[in-house]
Amino acid sequence: MLDSKPSLTYPTTRQGDHVDDYHGEKVADPYRWLEDPNSEETKAWIQAQNEITFAYLQQIPAREKLKQRLTKLWDFAKYSTPYKQGNRYFYYKNDGLQNQSVLYVLDDLEDQPEVLLDPNTLSEDGTVALSGVSISEDGNLMAYGISTSGSDWQEWKVRDVNTKQDLDDHLKWVKFSGASWTHDHKGFFYSRYNEPNENTKLEDSNYYQKLFYHRLGTPQSEDLLIYERSDQKEWGFGGSVTEDGKYLIISVWQGTDPKNLVFYKDLTLSDAPVIELISEFEAEYNFLDYQETKFWFQTDLNAPKGKVISLDIESGERTEIIPEIEETLQGINVLNHQFVAFYLKDAHTQIKILNLDGSFVREVELPGIGSAGGFRGKRQDTETFYAYTSFTTPTTIYRYDMVTGESRLYRQPEVDFNPENYETQQIFYQSKDGTQIPMFITHKKGLSLEGNNPTILYGYGGFSASLTPNFSISRIAWLEMGGVYAIPNLRGGGEYGEEWHQAGTKHNKQNVFDDFIAAAEWLIENQYTCSQKLAISGGSNGGLLVGACMTQRPDLFGAALPAVGVMDMLRFHKFTIGWAWCSDYGSPDNAEDFQAIYAYSPLHNLKPETAYPATLITTADHDDRVVPAHSFKFAAALQAAHLGDNPVLIRIETKAGHGAGKPTAKIIEELADGFAFLVRVFEMNSMF
């Protein structure tokens, strides 16, 4: 921990007298005023907090060295998997330190690639990002979405792939939507909200999404409304055209619950109605493709680990094609008239090729225990690409022959580190209720288990998201410093299917925190680290995880790094898309849910005169996913409650959002600051 030094003097944060009544329980909210990011008082508070935080960070000698090392590690060419549309290939590449990756196009894989769109030219500081791309069937037109300063709001434009010039089309107020072209190349389907209040668009709730068709060359005001539900303000719509162009498949979502509805519209018939095929939120249905009258779906209906069925749109008959197995089905693609099935086995990827009748063909041999993605293409394609990564393997691209099963190396990055110096193991530990939880632990080979290694324990545990092996430049920097990096697969995630997810939601949410705390205790008991050298880290729902665990067990951790966290669990549903999270958290408006939520809400479980771990909270002023007020209020309350010399700081990024599209320069600066904070707190200066 820190040497005995004078305590930091934090800005004085005014405490108001606001009190809310939740089902008969009075709850004070003294920092309610911090919810207004545009008030002069809030702006002054942000400036005062940042001044203290950056003054603290700037006096850490290791900070600049960390930034230099991260920059050097980051400086290598990064490629995405190529995919084909029409007679062209498309892929992304980042030369190394570019703030945004560049989209390239080429007619043949051996040709010299051409820049189709370079987002770095859209702003001087790299804060405008490419957030969505849809290529027309013939490969000649591209609809693309851009986001500014990390906001979820998108503007969509159209570019001619041949001339590399934009057309006049310009769509606004798009959010949580892609674009899907009709096969006549005359337009595309997309979803949008009504125009918001310009002054409060980063805070106001988002309801009543509508599905439109935009015809090229016409103003947005003339877009054709395809579907809306004025009686269902929470419903959202994703429109996707089938591979042959015949049907529009409409997936209807409500919040973050994976359960969805499926409607469809026959695009070959003029004025065809929208047909409600699956009209109850009974399970998740992911449309794959179809044959004659039979639609293929990946679903978890009566199969929490996933299966594939066919549904006859005329008779309603359902037939199982790929049954549920022990591994968790993550996704399905259709190539070479076969299914490519992505499975998770104890949180790492397995890929199986199956015939359209479900019979097994082969398993794709991967380079090791890691994660794989890709296998995009059309039903008739015999060649595709996939990416493989692990904790010590940078994302590597392979060409795959669907006929022979042969993988050939296509792109292998060169990173300034030796993977042979590190090792990853997967262990299983017991949570509070006896559940076995897997955890990946990565560190230098030959690590001394004497209970004194600086360790980062990272987690998420929610919304059915799976934490699988992946390569992280920042993690390599931490490992080089002698650090240990541990990632448990907590309940609430999707690693073991929908039952595992549900075991960490709503009234079961405490299981997630118990799993994380048990992971920390296992690392300490097995001599990897000690409380004084253990940091917990997580973002968004993972920020909630960190906030809940540091308030429940402040004695267990030496440092806490909650990023863009959901900290005020009584008001999360009042802002932007926060209402959608009630499917995972429950609703504070429900009396029973309120009691469960209130019991762990980080903001409401801080105790006065308590010594909390050294804490660096991070958020951003343009975060319209988890509004920064969560972090503002938590920081103010934590500083007021905290006892002792451990620093409690908040770092507020400007012109940035929840994380997506953040420029490389800002990412490196934020990581360097987080590591410098740990170097100071854990007294790791001997490593520099």
Annotated active-site positions, please? 540, 623, 658
What pLDDT does 12 receive?
Answer: 92
Q: What is the amino acid identity at position 653? A: E
Residue-wise DSSP of 581-630: GHHHH--TTSHHHHHHHHTT-GGGG--TTB-PPEEEEEEETT--SS-THH
Question: Which of 449, 454, 448 lies closest to 479, judged by CA?
Answer: 454
Strand partners, 135: 142
What pLDDT does 85 receive?
Answer: 95
What pLDDT does 630 receive?
Answer: 96
What pLDDT does 203 receive?
Answer: 79
Q: What is the mean pLDDT of residues 654-660?
A: 66
Q: What is the mean pLDDT of residues 261-286?
A: 96
Geometric angle at alpha carbon 605, from 602 and 611, rounded to 5°: 95
CATH for 19-72+417-682 (3.30.450.40, 3.40.1350.10, 3.40.50.1820, 2.40.50.140): 3.40.50.1820
- Rounded Cα–Cα distance for residues 144 and 178 (Å): 9
Q: Are 67 and 672 in contact (CB under 8 A)?
A: yes
What pLDDT does 654 receive?
Answer: 78
In tens, the pLDDT along 106-141 reads: 999 989 999 999 999 998 888 888 999 999 999 999
What pLDDT does 670 receive?
Answer: 94
What pLDDT does 199 receive?
Answer: 85
Q: SS3 sequence, 416-438?
A: CCCHHHEEEEEEEEECCCCCEEE
**Residue 418 confidence (pLDDT) above 60:** yes
Geometric angle at alpha carbon 390, from 387 and 391, rounded to 5°: 145
Q: What is the mean pLDDT of residues 286-293?
A: 97
Tokens of 188: 């595309």
Q: Are 458 and 537 in contact (CB under 8 A)?
A: yes
> Quick one: CA torsion of 295, 296, 299, 303, rounded to 10 degrees?
110
Split at pLDDT 50, 70, 90, the class of 1 is very low
* Interacting residues of 69 by C-beta distance below 8 A, sequence separation 6+: 477, 480
Residue reference for tokens 């080429």: 106
Q: What is the mean pLDDT of residues 301-329?
A: 97
Length of the chain (residues): 688
Q: In the chain, what is the straight-line distance between the N-terminal and C-terminal CA atoms, in Å?
A: 18
**Residue 157 confidence (pLDDT) above 50:** yes
Q: What is the mean pLDDT of residues 155-175?
A: 97
Q: Is 38 helix (H, G, I), strand (E, B) or coil?
A: coil
**Residue 301 confidence (pLDDT) above 60:** yes
Angular region, 369: left φ>0, alpha ψ -120 to 50, beta rest? beta
In tens, the pLDDT along 429-468 reads: 999 999 999 999 999 999 999 999 999 999 999 999 999 9
Q: What is the amino acid identity at position 467? A: L
**Residue 585 confidence (pLDDT) above 70:** yes
Question: Which of 539, 365, 574, 530 lies closest to 461, judged by CA?
Answer: 539
Q: What is the amino acid identity at position 478? A: W
Strand partners, 117: 103
Question: Which of 616, 672, 483 lies closest to 73, judged by CA?
Answer: 672
Residue reference for tokens 């049954």: 323
**Residue 2 confidence (pLDDT) above 50:** no
Question: 3-state SS of the chain: helix, strand, coil percent to 5?
Answer: 20, 35, 45
> Quick one: CA torsion of 674, 676, 677, 683, rounded to 10 degrees?
140
Cα separations in angstroms, 374 against 299, 307, 388: 20, 20, 9
Q: SS3 sequence, 460-518?
A: CCCCCCCCCCCCCHHHHHHHHCCCEEEEECCCCCCCCCHHHHHCCCHHHCHHHHHHHHH
In tens, the pLDDT along 54-69 reads: 999 999 999 999 999 9
- Rounded Cα–Cα distance for residues 95 and 384 (Å): 23
The two most distant CA atoms of the chain are separated, in Å, by 77
Strand partners, 103: 92, 117
- Rounded Cα–Cα distance for residues 97 and 597 (Å): 42
In tens, the pLDDT along 473-529 reads: 999 999 999 999 999 999 999 999 999 999 999 999 999 999 999 999 999 999 999
What pLDDT does 150 receive?
Answer: 77
In tens, the pLDDT along 168-194 reads: 999 999 999 999 999 999 999 999 999
Least confident of 8-22, 281-295, 625-639, 649-663: 649-663
Mean pLDDT taken over the chain:
95
Domain ranges of the chain: 19-72+417-682, 326-415
Number of H helices, E strands in the chain: 10, 39
Q: What is the mean pLDDT of residues 418-422?
A: 95
Split at pLDDT 50, 70, 90, the class of 551 is very high
Q: Are 94 and 102 in contact (CB under 8 A)?
A: yes
Least confident of 191-195, 202-206, 377-381: 202-206
What pLDDT does 377 receive?
Answer: 95
**Residue 4 confidence (pLDDT) above 50:** no
* Interacting residues of 669 by C-beta distance below 8 A, sequence separation 6+: 67
Between 154 and 5, name the one with better pLDDT. 154
What pLDDT does 29 receive?
Answer: 98
Tokens of 243: 């591979």
* 642 secondary structure, DSSP code: B
What pLDDT does 455 receive?
Answer: 98
- Rounded Cα–Cα distance for residues 585 and 597 (Å): 7
Question: Which of 561, 556, 550 lies closest to 674, judged by CA?
Answer: 561
